[in-house]
């Protein structure tokens, strides 16, 4: 057996070692982390629903009615009325005939790709796609072709070379580490020309973009013809846990029959589905959360520009500050923590080599004062460490 320590040592030496922080409070702007009070700018709770009283009450009611665990997979005896109702509500929300719940977004991506593609088929992916799409592709045994970020010409050129088999283009609607959007109208056009499926992973768009938070596909005015496969996660803007795929009757039935990561895993707790039904109501009814988030994003970008910080081309709640080396990103993150702020450093392989960064995320639950504290701290960091 090979000793494991040398690889761990190498990671330490290269500033790539990951360390878990222990959270002692609910998710929100003010956290207890490792016993310290910190002001957080790194959760994906974009609308501030993770600790909303309506969502918590629904979770408790759901636990009272259904107990703690689902007890089984969906196809055995674990598919509760709570799951079923949530699927119907998510389908209506997404404007599609059907929706299917998965226990996580990671599993949903894996499940869709492996159900639709196999040997002899081709999967096209943006280079900056989320790891779960990449891993789903590897598991499917389809040929994996990655194209440079948002480079439609490169994608079209690769697709023109395909000989035989089915084709699927999978893309993040909002790129998780950069915050920019995929050019969905152009992608839809290329896919229609090449008769390929288009799948959008909208983990960071659903709830946040589009009419009533319907996501990036709706933001671009596209329908289920243009984007036949929509995946959304429920652990980010929805503040709970789980994921869904929305699409045609035939797509959802195919997933129920063939998607191994749907079939061979325990259904998420019904109480969590009840909590998500409450957060879905809030997502749709409380448009002020999206307005507020947008105001904070604008204020952050203006403030950061005044400080002379180089921001990336993102109009979303994800506002990365590029550091370059992992060492630099970790040093900046530590310096912010010394000022009472939690902004995690994101390093390779989560992002490409040489593009380590601070991933600042904003939430409707941040106050303007809290945002100004972040800007002040970044200003200090800029003076002292040249951000």
User: Annotated active-site positions, please?
Assistant: 176, 204, 236
Q: Which is nearer to ligand PLP, 110 or 370 (CB)?
A: 110
Q: Say whether 233 counts as a known binding-site residue.
A: yes
CA 87, 89, 94, 95 dihedral sign is positive
Nearest-approach distance from CB 111 to ligand PLP, in angstroms = 11
DSSP 303-324: HHHHTT--B-S--SSEEEEEEE
Binding mask 195-224 for ligand PLP (x = CB under 6 A): ------x-xx--------------------
Q: Which of 315, 288, 155, 327 is nearest to 219 (CA)?
A: 315
Is residue 130 a contact point for ligand PLP (CB under 6 A)? yes
Please state, in angstroms and rounded to a whole number, the distance separating the CA atoms of residues 298 and 301: 5
Q: How many chain residues bind ligand PLP (CB under 6 A)?
A: 14
Classified as helix, coil or strand, 39 is strand
Output the smallest distance, CB 73 to ligand PLP, in A: 18
Among 40, 43, 150, 176, binds ligand PLP (CB under 6 A): 176
**Residue numbers 274-293 binding ligand PLP by CB under 6 A:** none
Q: By three-state DSSP, how is residue 215 classified? A: coil
Residues 226-245 that bind ligand PLP (CB under 6 A): 233, 235, 243
CB 364 within 8 A of CB 207: no
Count of other CB atoms within 10 angstroms of residue 19: 5
- Is 278 exposed, middle or buried (CB count within 10 Å of its CB: 0-12, 13-18, 19+)? buried
Q: Is 105 annotated as a binding residue?
A: yes
102 assigned binding-site residue = no
User: Is 132 a binder of ligand PLP (CB under 6 A)?
Assistant: yes
Rounded least distance, CB 216 to ligand PLP, Å: 11
Q: Are 316 and 204 in contact (CB under 8 A)?
A: yes
Q: Which residues are annotated as a binding site for substrate?
A: 18, 130, 350
Binding annotation for pyridoxal 5'-phosphate = 105-106, 176, 204, 233
Residues that bind ligand PLP (CB under 6 A): 104-106, 109, 130, 132, 172, 176, 201, 203-204, 233, 235, 243
């Amino acid at each position: 057996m090979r000793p494991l320590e040398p690889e761990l040592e190498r990671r330490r030496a290269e500033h790539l070692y990951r360390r878990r922080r222990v959270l002692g409070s609910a998710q929100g702007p003010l956290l207890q982390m490792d016993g310290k009070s910190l002001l957080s700018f790194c959760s994906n709770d974009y609308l501030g629903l993770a600790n909303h009283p309506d969502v918590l009450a629904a979770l408790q009611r759901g636990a009272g009615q259904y107990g703690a665990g689902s007890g089984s997979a969906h196809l055995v005896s674990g598919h509760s009325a709570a799951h079923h109702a949530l699927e119907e509500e998510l389908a209506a929300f997404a404007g599609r005939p059907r929706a299917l719940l998965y226990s996580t977004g990671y599993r949903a991506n894996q499940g869709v790709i492996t159900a639709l593609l196999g040997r002899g088929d081709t999967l096209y992916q943006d280079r900056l796609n989320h790891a779960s799409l990449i891993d789903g592709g590897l598991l499917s045994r389809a040929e994996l072709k990655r194209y440079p970020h948002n480079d439609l010409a490169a994608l079209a050129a690769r697709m023109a070379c395909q000989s035989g088999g089915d084709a699927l283009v999978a893309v993040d609607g909002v790129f998780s580490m950069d915050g920019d959007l995929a050019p969905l109208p152009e992608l839809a056009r290329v896919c229609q020309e090449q008769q390929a499926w288009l799948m959008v992973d909208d983990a960071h768009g659903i709830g946040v973009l589009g009419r009533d938070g319907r996501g990036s596909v709706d933001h671009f005015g596209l329908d289920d013809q243009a984007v036949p496969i929509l995946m959304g996660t429920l652990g980010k803007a929805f503040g709970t846990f789980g994921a869904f795929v929305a699409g045609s009757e035939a797509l959802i039935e195919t997933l129920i029959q063939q998607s191994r990561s749907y079939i061979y895993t325990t259904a998420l707790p019904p109480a969590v589905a009840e909590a998500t039904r409450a957060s879905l109501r809030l997502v749709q009814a409380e448009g002020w959360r999206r307005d507020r988030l947008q105001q904070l994003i604008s204020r952050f970008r203006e403030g950061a520009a005044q400080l002379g910080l180089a921001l990336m081309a993102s109009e979303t709640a994800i506002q990365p500050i590029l550091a370059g080396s992992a060492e630099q990103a970790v040093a900046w993150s530590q310096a912010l923590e010394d000022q009472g702020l939690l902004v995690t450093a994101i390093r390779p392989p989560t992002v490409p080599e040489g593009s380590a960064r601070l991933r600042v995320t904003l939430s409707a639950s941040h106050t303007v004062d809290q945002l100004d504290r972040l800007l002040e701290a970044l200003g200090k960091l800029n003076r002292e460490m040249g951000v």
